[in-house]
Structure 1
Amino acid sequence: MNVKKSSIIETSSLGDERGFLAVLETQSNIPFEIKRVFYIYSTKEDIRRGFHAHHKTRQALVSVAGKCKVHLDNTSRKEEVTLDSPNKILILEPNDWHEMYDFSNDCVLLVLASELYDSKDYIRDYEEFLKVYSKSTSEV
Structure 2
Amino acid sequence: MKLNGAKIIDLPKNLDRRGNLSVIEELKNIPFKIKRAYWIYDVPGGEVRGGHAYKRNQEFIVALSGSFDVILDNGKERQIFSLNRSYYGLYVPKGIWRQMQNFSTNSLALILASIRFDVADYVYDYELFKQMANEKNEHL
* Interval of TM-score (by shorter of Structure 1 and Structure 2): over 0.9
Aligned to 1:36: 36
Aligned to 1:129: 129
Does residue 116 (structure 1) correspond to residue 122 (structure 2)? The answer is no
* Contact 1:5/1:74 (<8 A) preserved: no
Aligned to 1:86: 86
Q: Deviations over 1:66-99 (max 9, x none)?
A: 0000111012321111000001110001111001
Q: Deviations over 1:31-90 (max 9, x none)?
A: 100000000000023000100000000000000000000111012321111000001110
Q: Name the TM-score, length of structure 2 as normaliser.
A: 0.92
**By how many angstroms is 1:137 displaced?**
4.1
Match of 1:134, SS state, is helix
Q: Name the TM-score, length of structure 1 as normaliser.
A: 0.92
**By how many angstroms is 1:106 displaced?**
1.2
CA–CA distance in structure 1, aligned partners of residues 136 and 8 of structure 2: 22
CA–CA distance in structure 2, aligned partners of residues 31 and 77 of structure 1: 23
Give the unaligned 5+ runs of structure 1: none
Aligned to 2:63: 63
Aligned to 2:20: 20
- Kindly, what percent of the aligned residue pairs are identical? 32
CA–CA distance in structure 2, aligned partners of residues 135 and 8 of structure 1: 27
Aligned to 2:52: 52
Supply the RMSD in Å over aligned alpha carbons.
1.4
- Point out the more displaced range, 95-104 or 74-83: 74-83
**By how many angstroms is 1:124 displaced?**
0.5
Match of 2:20, SS state, is strand
Give the unaligned 5+ runs of structure 2: none
Instruction: Select the structure with the greater relative contact order (CA < 8 A; seq sep ≥ 6).
Output: 1
CA–CA distance in structure 1, aligned partners of residues 119 and 51 of structure 2: 14
Runs of 4+ in 1 over 6 A off after TM superposition: none
